[in-house]
């Protein structure tokens, strides 16, 4: 009688225990899947942030390049007044020579330039050589476009 009671109890209880264990295994699997989906979602968010930041930097760089081109185009357009064009063509080389000789003189004699004067000299040199570089880059693009 005891054996029949135990076998009857096992016959009724064991299927419920197995169902419970199976549900627990499914819950663990769902938690693992949800965690993996959550991590993938976070990775996608980080990747989209990186893409957005790089696009923003690219847009800023393009706008700065367009601004520089506009500045240089305006500064080198002839004014159709002979003395103004002659003055403009002389001022830039003279100011460049002055700034470079000032910097060289101070470097040779170990004189410390005031910050403002140093920045002005660097600005003049970069404007002069920057324009040359822009012309070189634009001419190179035109030559590549014709090939």
Report the percentage of the chain scoring pLDDT > 90: 0
- CA distances for 61 relative to 14, 54, 55, 56, angstroms: 70, 10, 10, 9
CB 136 within 8 A of CB 114: no
According to the model, what pLDDT value does residue 134 have?
67
User: 75-112: per-residue pLDDT in tens?
Assistant: 667 778 888 878 877 877 787 788 888 888 888 888 88
Give residue limits of the domains in the chain.
Answer: 1-75, 80-147
**CA separation, residue 86 to residues 82, 89, 98, 133, 135 (Å):** 6, 5, 18, 22, 20
- The confidence score (pLDDT) of residue 8 equals 73
pLDDT greater than 50 at residue 136: yes
Q: Where are the beta strands (DSSP E) in 39-134?
A: none
- Rounded to whole angstroms, the Cα distance separating 43 from 35 reads 12
Q: What is the mean pLDDT of residues 137-143?
A: 60
Under the banding of pLDDT at 50, 70 and 90, the label for residue 147 is very low
Q: What local confidence, expressed as pLDDT, does residue 75 receive?
A: 65
* Beta carbons within 10 angstroms of residue 26's beta carbon: 10
Averaged pLDDT for residues 38-45: 87
Of the candidates 82, 101, 92, 88, the residue with the CA atom closest to the CA atom of residue 124: 92
What confidence category does residue 135 fall into, taking pLDDT thresholds of 50, 70 and 90? low
- Cβ atoms 68, 130 nearer than 8 A: yes
């Amino acid at each position: 009688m005891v054996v029949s009671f135990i076998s009857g109890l096992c016959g009724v209880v064991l299927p419920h225990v197995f169902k419970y264990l199976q549900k627990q295994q499914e819950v663990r699997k769902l938690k693992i899947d949800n965690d993996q989906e959550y991590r993938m979602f976070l990775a996608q968010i980080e990747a989209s942030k990186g893409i957005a930041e790089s696009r923003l930097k690219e847009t800023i760089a393009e706008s700065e390049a367009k601004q520089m081109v506009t500045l240089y185009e305006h500064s080198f357009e002839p004014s159709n007044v002979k003395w103004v064009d002659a003055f403009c063509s002389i001022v830039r080389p003279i100011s460049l020579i002055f700034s470079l000789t000032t910097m060289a003189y101070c470097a040779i004699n170990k004189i410390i330039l005031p910050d403002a004067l140093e920045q002005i000299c660097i600005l003049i040199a970069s404007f002069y050589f920057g324009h040359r570089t822009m012309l070189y880059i634009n001419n190179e693009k035109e030559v590549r476009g014709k090939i």
